[in-house]
Structure 1
Amino acid sequence: MKKIQKKPLYFVLIGIFLNFYTAYSQSSNEISVYNWFDKNLGVESLDFENGPAHLNFDKTVNNNNRYYISENFKKGSINYNGQDYFDLLLNYDTYNDEIVLKPYGESNTTKINIIKENVNYFKIGNEKFIKLETLNIPNFKKGYYEEVLIGNDITVFVKYYKEKKKINKDEIDLVEFIPKYEFVLLKDNKYSSVNNKKEILALFPNNKRKINDFYLLHRDLKSENLALFTKNLLKYINN
């Protein structure tokens, strides 16, 4: 697929037009302007280096899938080469750690893996994901992490990924994707792993009772949704 480049006219026009909005940083007006230019100049004008086509031939068990939530694309935005793009149809392939773009709307079947090296962050719905690549943490898994502000200058980063398991059912080869998670906490300007109770207690020794109570009261949530359990626990500790 050919490389997609932004036409010079795009920069000239948007530079002139946005002079009227300099008092508002990424306001709704500014977002509307970006969307207008993207829509009227076409997707070929966007500054995406066209990545490979996104292909998915998975035959899965019980509608299981490789994506963050489902196979459905949602409205989102990306920061690509330092520039923001809004109202894009995006999905997140957590098995391959790829952002997937549907460039021509819901009616088109074209899907593209956006080149990861040029992405600073992206949003799907209200959830923001950033790239973490080099942290001094044992067994650190690099890639996209959801960024969740906890408060008191504390942030938790959640890595969603999936492992593939092959299954033979009724002489048909199927796959099952098993959700996995990694949790990193930024506290006092230091990154630490928070993948289990022991690591959390080490970072919050004065909150041992609150941590134990939360584990006791929310055992079901821990089993059903470990990511939500961990985010809620850290918010509870810092409340």
Structure 2
Amino acid sequence: MIFGLFLNNYHLRSQTSKEAEIYNWFDKNIGIESLDIKNGAAHLNFDNTVENQNRYYFTENFRKGTLRYNNQNYYDVLLKYDIYKDDLVLNPYDEANTTKINLIKDNVENFSINNEKFINLKVLNPSFFKGGFYEEVLINSTSALYIKYFKEKKKDQKEESNLIQYIPRYEFVLLKDSKYYLINGKKEIIALFPESKRKINDYYFMNKSLKKENPALFIKNLVKYINN
């Protein structure tokens, strides 16, 4: 049975790899000008920021990723995620090219960068949630955590400085029993998992430094810990 499961897993990975090769060959041979993803507004960024700060998720450099756009899969495309504007940015040619395109958001179903999957949560009510792209962390067959990364812009506090600061912010949404809940605070989490109140309090007490240094990882680990 174990050997059979290994073969099935290997077969699925082989299928995915083969599919990526086919799509890449097709995209390369028909030319970027014919691809649907070339449509979109130019991405412009004239920020003069404080050192080591930018408006992007993870890095301001383009990284190879995957994309589901207008019902079409794309592999090994150069992407970066502008979390200040909530725009997915594409370099449609190569890393040396300066052309950058903001993909049409409504056409983006999901994308992956650095093995992290983001989906377009169009179902969320904008009066209660920020909406747009969220990292998806599957917990079990009925639950998932969605993390909204965004940044707030403000000017540097130094006198006569025109530099911009970007302050990281987060929104955490839990899908539980087919409903979406904001869980930006401990009280909201305990209200959803009252039977785990002691575990939640212990986790907060033991992971104070992680909560401060990496809020997203803190919540990821907490939700997994509760559901373990």
Matched residue, 2:71: 82
Supply the distance in 1 between the matched residues of 2:172 and 2:194 (Cα, whole angstroms). Answer: 18
Matched residue, 2:5: none
Identity of aligned pairs, percent? 61
RMSD: 1.8
Supply the distance in 2 between the matched residues of 1:134 and 1:238 (Cα, whole angstroms). Answer: 24
Where structure 2 has 5 or more consecutive residues not aligned to the other structure, the ranges are 1-10
Cα distance change, pair 138–50 in 1 and its aligned pair in 2 (3 A): closer
Where structure 1 has 5 or more consecutive residues not aligned to the other structure, the ranges are 1-22
User: What does residue range 1-239 of structure 1 map to in structure 2 within 5 Å?
Assistant: 27-48=16-37, 50-135=39-124, 139-167=128-156, 169=158, 171-239=160-228
> How many residue pairs get matched?
217
Supply the distance in 2 between the matched residues of 1:113 and 1:168 (Cα, whole angstroms). Answer: 31
TM-score, normalised on structure 1?
0.86
Cα distance change, pair 46–53 in 1 and its aligned pair in 2 (3 A): same
TM-superposed deviation, 1:163: 0.6
TM-superposed deviation, 1:151: 2.1
Supply the distance in 2 between the matched residues of 1:130 and 1:152 (Cα, whole angstroms). Answer: 17
Cα distance change, pair 31–71 in 1 and its aligned pair in 2 (3 A): same
Matched residue, 1:7: none
Per mean C-alpha deviation after superposition, the further-off stretch among 191-200 and 148-157 is 148-157
TM-score, normalised on structure 2?
0.90
Can you list the C-alpha shifts for 1:124-174, whole angstroms capped at 9, x where unaligned? 121111111343586311111000011252100000001101125463301
Amino acid at match of 1:146: E
Can you list the C-alpha shifts for 1:191-233, whole angstroms capped at 9, x where unaligned? 1111110000011111111101110010001011111100110
Supply the distance in 1 between the matched residues of 2:190 and 2:159 (Cα, whole angstroms). Answer: 47
Amino acid at match of 1:65: N
Amino acid at match of 1:226: P
TM-superposed deviation, 1:61: 0.9
Supply the distance in 2 between the matched residues of 1:194 and 1:87 (Cα, whole angstroms). Answer: 34
Supply the distance in 2 between the matched residues of 1:185 and 1:152 (Cα, whole angstroms). Answer: 13
Supply the distance in 2 between the matched residues of 1:204 and 1:109 (Cα, whole angstroms). Answer: 49
Supply the distance in 2 between the matched residues of 1:168 and 1:218 (Cα, whole angstroms). Answer: 31
Q: Residues 38 and 101 of structure 2 are in contact (CA less than 8 Å); yes or no, is this contact kept in structure 1?
A: no
Can you list the C-alpha shifts for 1:49-98, whole angstroms capped at 9, x where unaligned? 51111111111112200000111111111111111111000000000000
Q: Residues 166 and 173 of structure 1 are in contact (CA less than 8 Å); yes or no, is this contact kept in structure 2?
A: yes
